[in-house]
Amino acid sequence: MTEPVRVTARSSARWSRTPVIAIGIAGSAILAAAGLVFSRPDVVGIGLPLALGTAWMLMRRPRDSTMSIELRAHVEGSGDSSEVMAEVDAILDGDWVQVAIDQEVRRSGLADARPGHSILLTRNRLQHSGPVELLGVTVRGVALDGAWVSEAGPRVVLEWNTPPRQVRIGQLPIAPRLTGLHGAHEGVRPGQGGDFRDIHPFVPGDELRRVDWRATARAARRPGELLVRRSTTLSDSSVVIAVDTAEDLGTVVASWGADDADRSGVTSLDLAREAALSIATAAVGVGDRVAYHALSPGGRSLPSGGGPRHLARVRDMIAATGQSEEVSRYRRSPVVPSGSIVFVLSTFFDGVAAQLATRWRAAGHVVVAVDVLPIPDRSRLTREQRIALRTLLAERSDILVELRHAGVEVVAWTDPDIDVAMRLAALRQRRMRTVRR
């Protein structure tokens, strides 16, 4: 369940006159002059209330005070819902407030409301996962029928990190070397929890309950010798998830480079966040340790860990992963524990992510390249754009072929049955481990 988000800002409200007072003074003067010129006392009488009201507005200047703005947001319904409710509180001395509303970085309207709590309620249906500017408001106060207005306060922004949906994965490839003492993977060392390993003479440290009396009676070589039944230990795998955040390409190719989230369809980072959360959930579910890295300068990183609490931290960090704003590409490899399995999530249009995957494979890690490019929608493309797209896809295919030749498993996340694709990758990796032994 996504926790509610709250943002509070305070600023000083300094009041200034508006043209309303000048218009009132000018109007009352014009009416008084017209009444005197035309000898019309009734016209002078009409201007008298206007003059008194204007004088009253001029003398009752509001006191400078503090303006407090608070924005709150929470998920409505289940935790996986894409609908988010947001509320705005505006507290200041004034008759009413004017609110400029921005939703997802776009100006959506202006509103007038009385100061207080929950003066504005918004409902947002989010199309994409990841960080988004859910709501931005700019508030100023109005007093005495518009005669005085306060300075507009600073723009208050409510950021929201939308968690991706999760796909169930039954089995993942595992690290080439299992070093942990707990987990669900069959290790190579003698221990507890695994399948039968061998029959071995009793040595100090063995438990008496593991003595195999039948084997002792049948195969003991001398009196007093005991034979114990040993099993293999269950170990955990070290999983590293690396997400390339340099590009965020949508399904609609015509929207590439336009930064139009409403018309782009599902984007590559949507699929990357979904894949990262699914892989992390599957790994933690069998007792593995998971580390997370965003491949961008200053990108988020989370060291290796396991358990439900660590999975919650990974989920929050994945939801907060957005497109990198840095122009320079990420070229320094993050720290990867020895003998890990690394999942590199990228579109592989640029060779940087492929170079990192090849470097990790050469270092002895098992590397799985997860292709997160959505299935391209070629509609609305000109002939020249179609040719350019075919060229880009051909270059990307060459990069994926080179990864396969380097011993990197390549899995497309858009595969209709990604669970089967992961199981096949795990089976191929298990065969390679058996051959090496």
Question: Looking at the predicted structure, is the pLDDT value of residue 242 above 90?
Answer: yes
Domain count, the chain: 3
User: E strand or H helix at 12, and its extent?
Assistant: strand 5-13
Q: Over the stretch 12-32, which tens digit does the pLDDT of each residue have?
A: 888 888 888 888 888 888 888
Question: What does pLDDT average to over the chain?
Answer: 82
Q: How many CA atoms lie within 13 A of 104 on its CB side?
A: 17
The more confident residue out of 199 and 390 is: 390
81 & 147 share domain: yes
Question: Looking at the predicted structure, is the pLDDT value of residue 1 above 70?
Answer: no
Residue 348: left if φ>0, alpha if ψ -120 to 50, beta else—which one?
left
Residue 284 within any structural domain of the chain? yes
Residue 33 within any structural domain of the chain? no
Percent of the chain with pLDDT over 90: 22
Question: Looking at the predicted structure, is the pLDDT value of residue 278 above 90?
Answer: yes
Q: How much is the pLDDT for 174?
A: 75
319/274 Cα distance (integer angstroms): 9
Point out the domain boundary residue: 195, 211, 235: 235
Mean pLDDT score, 62-72: 88
Mean pLDDT score, 67-75: 90
396 & 352 share domain: yes
Residue type (1 letter), 414: T
Residue 191 within any structural domain of the chain? yes
Mean pLDDT score, 383-406: 92
Residues β-bridged to residue 240: 291, 342
Residue 360 within any structural domain of the chain? yes
Mean pLDDT score, 291-297: 88
Q: How much is the pLDDT for 34?
A: 85
153 & 198 share domain: no
Most confidently modeled range among 206-215, 217-226, 244-253, 295-304: 244-253
**How is the beta sheet containing 83-91 ordered, strand by strand?**
5-13, 65-75, 83-91, 116-125
Q: How much is the pLDDT for 314?
A: 94
CATH code: domain of residue 386 = 3.40.50
Band of pLDDT at residue 61, cut at 50, 70 and 90: confident
The more confident residue out of 331 and 4 is: 4
Question: Looking at the predicted structure, is the pLDDT value of residue 86 above 50?
Answer: yes
Q: Which of 365, 370, 336 is nearest to 354 (CA)?
A: 370
Separation of first and last alpha carbons in the chain: 45
150 & 197 share domain: no
Residues β-bridged to residue 163: none
Band of pLDDT at residue 178, cut at 50, 70 and 90: low
Residue 34 within any structural domain of the chain? no
Residue 428 within any structural domain of the chain? yes
Point out the domain boundary residue: 235, 262, 297: 235
Residue 179 within any structural domain of the chain? no
Q: Over the stretch 87-135, which tens digit does the pLDDT of each residue have?
A: 999 988 888 899 999 887 777 788 888 998 888 888 888 888 889 888 8
Band of pLDDT at residue 313, cut at 50, 70 and 90: very high
Band of pLDDT at residue 192, cut at 50, 70 and 90: low
221 & 133 share domain: no
Per the CB < 8 A criterion, the answer to whether 178 and 235 are in contact is: yes
Cβ atoms within 10 Å of 74's Cβ, excluding its own: 15
Question: Looking at the predicted structure, is the pLDDT value of residue 354 above 50?
Answer: yes
130 & 278 share domain: no
Residue 317 within any structural domain of the chain? yes
Question: Looking at the predicted structure, is the pLDDT value of residue 311 above 80?
Answer: yes
Q: Write the CB contacts of 420 (distance below 8 Å, at least 6 apart in sequence).
A: none
Question: What ranges make up the beta strands (E) of 126-167?
Answer: 130-143, 148-150, 156-162
Residue type (1 letter), 154: P
Q: Over the stretch 411-435, which tens digit does the pLDDT of each residue have?
A: 999 988 888 888 777 777 666 655 4
Q: How much is the pLDDT for 18?
A: 85
133 & 193 share domain: no
pTM score: 0.79
Q: Report CA-CA distances (Å) from 172 to 175, 185, 278, 330.
A: 10, 11, 11, 27
CATH code: domain of residue 117 = 2.60.40
307 & 386 share domain: yes
Band of pLDDT at residue 2, cut at 50, 70 and 90: low
226/201 Cα distance (integer angstroms): 6
235/189 Cα distance (integer angstroms): 9
The more confident residue out of 173 and 371 is: 371
223 & 302 share domain: no
194 & 287 share domain: no
203 & 243 share domain: no
378 & 428 share domain: yes
Q: Of the ranges 178-192, 337-351, 403-417, 418-432, which one carries the lowest mean pLDDT score?
A: 178-192
Q: How much is the pLDDT for 272?
A: 94
Point out the domain boundary residue: 127, 162, 197: 162
Per the CB < 8 A criterion, the answer to whether 62 and 15 are in contact is: yes
Residues spanned by the domain of 396: 238-436
